[in-house]
Amino acid sequence: MNLIYKYMKRFAVILLAVISVIYGFSKVWRSIEFNRSKKQSIVIYTSRTDNLLDATIPLFEEKYGVQVELVKGELGELFSMIREGEKPIADIIMGGTYSYMYSNRELFQEYVSVNDKYLMENYRNHTGLMTSYLLEGSCVVVNKSLKQDIIIEGYEDLLDQRLQGRIIMANPINSSFAFSQLTNILLAMGGYESEAAWEYVHQLIAQMGEIASSSEKVYNSVASGNYIVGLTYESPCVTLVGDSADLEIIYPKEGTVYVPAMAAIVKDCSNLEYSKHFIDFISSKDIQNIYANLLMKRSVYRDAIEGEYLTPIQDIRVLEEDMEYVKHNKLKILSDYSVIIDRIMGED
Amino acid sequence: MKASRGFQDKLKLIVIHKLLTLVGTGSVLFAVGMILAVTVTNYKNAKDNATVYSNKFENVYNEGAKFLRDETLQDLCKQILNYEKDTSQLPYMIYEFNASFPMQVKIVLSDKERNIVYKSYSDMEWDFYRNSFNKAICANAFLVGLDEIYSSVYYFNGNASNYVMSKPIYEYGITIGYLNLYIEDQWEECLYNAEYEGIITDYRGRVIHSSRQSFITGINKFEPESNQSIININGRRYWQYRQELEEAGVIIYSLIYYPRNNSLLFAAVGLIFLMTVWWFVLANVMAESMAQSNSAAVSKLVKEIKAIGEENSSYRITMATEDEFAEIGLSINQMLDSINELNLKNTELLRINNITEINQLTAQVNPHFLYNTLEIIRNLLIFDSKKADSLIVKLTQILRYSINNSRKYVCLEEDMLYIKDYLEIQKSRFEDNLHFAIAIDEPCLQCIVPKLLLQPLIENSIKYGFRKKMKIQVGIQGKMEGNILYLSVTDDGVGMTKEEAESLQQSIYEAVTESEHNGLHNIARRLYLLYGLDSGLDIIPMETEGLKVVIRINLERGMSCTK
């Protein structure tokens, strides 16, 4: 045994020597550094999943000679990452709608874009914290082939018996777009606290075939023909229509609410200079034109050139969301919604 | 058998130790060899692949740069920007260039305000994004040196990216516009001879071309998590080789798919393990059998030696192993032989010494001699009391010399004094019938010889001489020849025939003899045992009557008297 032990020791020493030689060799090998230019970099946390980032980030990088590191995730998750100071430390948060952003306002650094004065009056930076970069409007998307002769012009039409189980929407609890859709419905059907409006919500949910976990699933399911109607938001649907999908976008005759999508600089960020550049950049005329014209999104810029597939805003009955009310009553609205869900589940 | 078991174990341990070291180094070398082989192959493949990519890219870049720096084109652009010419000639130049260029290119000419003056894109293709991007490129190109080219990567929304080369147009050192070359991603066709995956990015990690869409992360980015040779992309392992093209501002990543092949790894480790176990077992068996065969010889040897010790000393070892052990046996046998011989010699010497001593003592107290001498003294006391007195002194000296038993060796000179006294006494007895002559060379006198060496010879001469003759002569000679001392006693007595002398000569060297010439025999054996083979006794019959006895002593091993 003694011999084996002694032998093992010797073997281990030889092995160690060989390994260290190889390791050292590879270290030398790897130490040949590339003079990859060490540019400035900023970290952007975003909940966006669409092509908006494609049109924003490479151009920003080229224009400012800066590297962008994207961290994608659900908004709630991103906020908790910021709170916990997870790495990489966020410089910018770019994502959800007003009410979501506002409830986390203590995380933001004050900054007003140099382009703020060129934005539409309603969507300027009134808090000094958050900059609107586009408007997200709710809409109803319909599969043209499947709807046949069902007339869908507004929310009221969705209660048609033939649509029972053929409607899909996302869950307002995890999707900011779905929450906007809910407040849009309430506002259009009588008001946030109107009994009639909530009764309509109840009936509508009873019509639902599925409450999806993400907005993406909603419009894709309609486009692929799994559902006839989807309750979702405007820009991806416009893009799908532009890509000649078999879809039709309905702006309900009861009214459509546009809420701004916002970005903000995170407090104690590591690169404030470039963060400010970024906020200026997304509110600039150039990028707003790209969003409106190329990405078919509703610009916040006063005289942006909109894309051809966007229904002119003049042709849509636009409702003004009571942002103050919504941001203060978000939890109440969601809990009322949950009660309806529980009731419907109970009925089943 | 305990001793040989220990030897066997030790031998086995040594063999196992050596074999295990061999197995260990063998396994390590095998493993290292395998790793090296894989490493070198991957490295070479990756490097070759990178060379294919870089050659192609450099070619494209150089062609593009040559086009942008072309003076005719530059002059034309200057004229266009100065409103001296319209853009109608530009498309022609672009078509011409496109014809020789491996990839589709588009040209955008901007003025110093970065507004488009000419573009080979259609209006449909030219959107707000491209416009903004082109402006950004121009802004960056503004910052480069006079003859330098700014390069960038254009990418939008899932479409293939363009490598953009931008050359500012100067007039009197002032930038008056920008000529941008958009090279579309048709690398796939150009790189048909690349055998492995490859990615071309700029220094910011923006992908210009990727052989696989899945390598691209984020928004058209490829930034491997580390500089190490082995990287993971989407859970797949690749061997990475990077090459940088500084002028073009790009990095080429050559990637060799290098899956962590667990079954191969297990097989290799298993193989090494099995080999080690097999070698270990083999080593054990070999060690056992080697130790056994070797220790068998040792055991035999030990047994044989024990037999000698326990049984008898004349027993001799017999080894049939035909190896070093057999030789050891033989050597031991020889050693035993010489020990035995030495032993016999010593025993005999002891015996002869004893006999000599007894004889000498006997000679001195020889009753006949004493009686005869005393008789002479008695007669002389009556007739010549003076001579009687001298004879008594001589007899006393003889008695003292011979009785003094403390010294066995003496100087020849001293012994000769005794011989002279002895002869004087004998002469007084035989008077004129006995003649003696002593002729000893001076150097001989200092030699050390056994005490009473010559006395028995002289006694013999007198004893045998007077048996047949009335008158005898005795001669004593001594001489040195080199290291050899010759002492001879000659008489003219009866002598002996040649044959008798020869047989006597032979018999005196035999170990044991019963002949009447006991005295001669004892002297001869004593000389031989004391001084070796070349010392001894020669019996030489004289041509006339008489006998000569020569004592031969090789003094090489002897001593000489120091005064």
Cβ count within 10 A of residue A8: 12
Q: Is A225 exposed, middle or buried (0-12, 13-18, 19+ CB in 10 A)?
A: exposed
Which chain B residues are closer than 8 Å to A59 by Cβ?
A: 129, 132-133, 136
> How far apart are the CA of B120 and the nearest CA of chain A, in angstroms?
20
Question: Under an 8 A CB cutoff, do B129 and A33 touch?
Answer: no
Q: Running along chain A, 348 residues long, what does each successive block of 10 average in pLDDT?
A: 69 78 61 52 87 89 90 87 89 83 89 93 89 90 91 92 93 86 93 93 92 89 94 88 87 91 91 94 93 87 82 86 85 92 78
Q: Name the residue among A34, A62, A294 with its Cβ closest to that of B136.
A: A62
Q: Most B CBs within 10 Å: which of A4, A48, A59, A94, as the mutation test of the B interface?
A: A59
Q: Which of A344, A289, A317, A324 is nearest to A55 (CA)?
A: A289
What is residue B53's predicted lDDT score, i.e. its pLDDT?
A: 92
B496 contacts: CB under 8 Å, gap ≥ 6: B504, B539, B541, B547
Number of residue pairs across A and B with CB atoms under 8 Å? 95
The residue among B259 and B150 whose pLDDT is bigger is B150
B281 touches chain A (CB under 8 A): no
What own/partner pairs with CB < 8 Å and gap ≥ 24 does A222-227 have? A222/A141, A222/A142, A222/A143, A222/A168, A222/A247, A223/A143, A223/A247, A225/A143, A225/A145, A225/A146, A226/A168, A227/A143, A227/A166, A227/A167, A227/A168
Ranking A278-282, B79-83, B255-259, B269-273 by mean pLDDT, the lowest is: B269-273
For A11, name the nearest residue in chain B, comparing CA atoms only.
Answer: B24
The Cα–Cα gap between A94 and A43 comes to 11
The Cα–Cα gap between A101 and B40 comes to 55
For A6, name the nearest residue in chain B, comparing CA atoms only.
Answer: B17
Over residues B372-379, the mean pLDDT reads 86
Residue B513 has pLDDT above 70, yes or no: no
Cα separations (Å) of B366 from B281, B353, B373, B421, B430?
Answer: 86, 18, 11, 16, 17
The Cα–Cα gap between B328 and B338 comes to 15
Q: Give the tens place of pLDDT for each residue, B294-346.
A: 777 777 778 877 877 776 667 777 777 777 778 888 888 888 888 888 888 88
B164 contacts: CB under 8 Å, gap ≥ 6: B137, B151, B152, B153, B154, B180, B181, B182, B183
DSSP state of B246: T
- Helix, strand, coil percent values for chain B (each to nearest 5): 55, 20, 25
Q: Give the tens place of pLDDT for each residue, B118-149.
A: 999 998 889 899 999 999 999 999 988 888 89
Phi, psi torsion values for B207, nearest 5 degrees: -80, 125
Q: Which two tokens stand for residue B63?
A: 């062609």
DSSP state of A114: T
DSSP state of B443: G
The residue among B359 and B411 whose pLDDT is bigger is B411
The residues in B 15-54 lying below 8 A from A, measured between CB atoms, are 16-17, 20-21, 24-25, 28, 32, 35
Question: Under an 8 A CB cutoff, do B152 and A29 touch?
Answer: no
Question: Residue type for B194, please?
Answer: A
The Cα–Cα gap between B108 and B115 comes to 10
> According to DSSP H, which parts of B162-318 are helical?
187-190, 262-310
Phi, psi torsion values for A229, nearest 5 degrees: -125, 140
Question: Under an 8 A CB cutoff, do A305 and B136 touch?
Answer: no
Which chain B residues are closer than 8 Å to A289 by Cβ?
A: 128
For A62, name the nearest residue in chain B, comparing CA atoms only.
Answer: B136
What is residue B366's predicted lDDT score, i.e. its pLDDT?
A: 65
Q: Name the residue among A14, A55, A61 with its Cβ closest to that of B28.
A: A14
Cis, peptide link before residue A312, omega less than 30° from 0:
no
> How far apart are the CA of A159 and the nearest CA of chain B, in angstroms?
38
Q: How many residues does chain A have?
A: 348
Cβ count within 10 A of residue A112: 19
The Cα–Cα gap between A141 and A246 comes to 10
Q: Give the tens place of pLDDT for each residue, B210-224.
A: 988 888 888 888 888
Average pLDDT, chain B: 83
Q: Give the tens place of pLDDT for each residue, B381-402.
A: 888 888 888 888 888 888 888 7
Q: Residue A62 in contact with residue B203, Cβ under 8 Å?
A: no
Q: Name the residue among A18, A37, A54 with its Cβ closest to that of B32.
A: A18
Over residues B99-103, the mean pLDDT reads 87
B344 contacts: CB under 8 Å, gap ≥ 6: B511
Helix B412-430 with B385-403: angle, nearest 10 deg = 140
Q: Degrees (nearest 5) of the Cα angle B172, B174, B180?
A: 115
Q: Name the residue among A3, A22, A67 with its Cβ closest to that of B204.
A: A67
Phi, psi torsion values for A211, nearest 5 degrees: -110, 105
% of chain B surpassing 70 pLDDT: 94
Which chain A residues are closer than 8 Å to B137 by Cβ?
A: 62
Residue B111 has pLDDT above 50, yes or no: yes
Cα separations (Å) of B529 from B349, B483, B503, B524?
Answer: 6, 18, 21, 9
- Beta strand B434-440 with B472-481 is parallel
Residues of A with CB under 8 A from a CB of B: 3, 7, 10-11, 14-15, 18, 22, 26, 29-30, 33-37, 39, 51, 53-55, 57-59, 61-63, 65, 67, 70, 286-287, 289-290, 293-294, 305
The Cα–Cα gap between B263 and A96 comes to 48
Question: Residue type for A298, please?
Answer: R
Whose structure tokens read 């326990």?
A: B310
Question: Under an 8 A CB cutoff, do B157 and A62 touch?
Answer: no
For B14, name the nearest residue in chain A, comparing CA atoms only.
Answer: A3
- The three-state secondary structure class of B124 is coil
Which chain A residues are closer than 8 Å to B154 by Cβ?
A: 58
The residue among B409 and B360 whose pLDDT is bigger is B409
For B249, name the nearest residue in chain A, comparing CA atoms only.
Answer: A36
Question: Under an 8 A CB cutoff, do B24 and A34 touch?
Answer: no
What is residue B517's predicted lDDT score, i.e. its pLDDT?
A: 65
What is residue B115's predicted lDDT score, i.e. its pLDDT?
A: 92
The residue among B207 and B259 whose pLDDT is bigger is B207
Indicate if ipTM > 0.85.
Answer: no
Q: Name the residue among A29, A35, A53 with its Cβ closest to that of B219.
A: A53
Q: Name the residue among A7, A51, A63 with its Cβ closest to that of B24.
A: A7
Which chain A residues are closer than 8 Å to B152 by Cβ?
A: 62
The Cα–Cα gap between B73 and B89 comes to 10
Q: Give the tens place of pLDDT for each residue, B442-481.
A: 888 888 888 888 888 888 888 888 888 888 889 999 998 8
B129 touches chain A (CB under 8 A): yes
The Cα–Cα gap between B520 and B537 comes to 8
> How far apart are the CA of A78 and the nearest CA of chain B, in angstroms?
17
Question: Under an 8 A CB cutoff, do B127 and A294 touch?
Answer: yes
Q: Bin A261: left if φ > 0, else alpha if -120 < ψ < 50, else beta.
A: beta
B128 touches chain A (CB under 8 A): yes
